[in-house]
Amino acid sequence: QVQLQESGPGLVKPSETLSLTCTVSGYSISSGYYWGWIRQPPGKGLEWIGSIYHSGSTYYNPSLKSRVTISVDTSKNQFSLKLSSVTAADTAVYYCARGTSGWSGRYYYYYMDVWGKGTTVTVSS
């Protein structure tokens, strides 16, 4: 059974870099799938941050692209998120998730079928 677990500081100061790690168990990241990050500000909806393929190809939300880096460490079976120059608006629950992607006829598909439980990150001095 595939499980994902987020870890990292729960408090980050404004203007600093938020760093989170997602540890995957029950499946080898290097075997396939996409691995991504999604966040949810308090009382608000879901926002996709970005995804990385096991080979290292990355895809980012255009609105966050200038501040986001997602990387993968297959030796540790982990992938990570770095979000720079954070402000209070980056306060949220951050989720990691496995992405399933491909083509079905003429249609591209991408959905997230396994999620971590989420970790709360507060940006405050």
The contact set with other proteins (CB under 8 A) reads: 36, 38, 45-48, 51, 59, 61-62, 95, 100-101, 104, 107-113, 115-118
Give least dist CB 86 to other proteins, A: 21
- CB atoms near residue 61 (< 10 Å): 15
Give least dist CB 32 to other proteins, A: 16
Give least dist CB 65 to other proteins, A: 10
Q: Which is nearer to other proteins, 73 or 113 (CB)?
A: 113
Do the Cβ atoms of 107 and 52 come closer than 8 Å? no
DSSP state of 30: G
Q: Which residues contact 125 (CB under 8 A, 6 or more apart)?
A: 13, 14
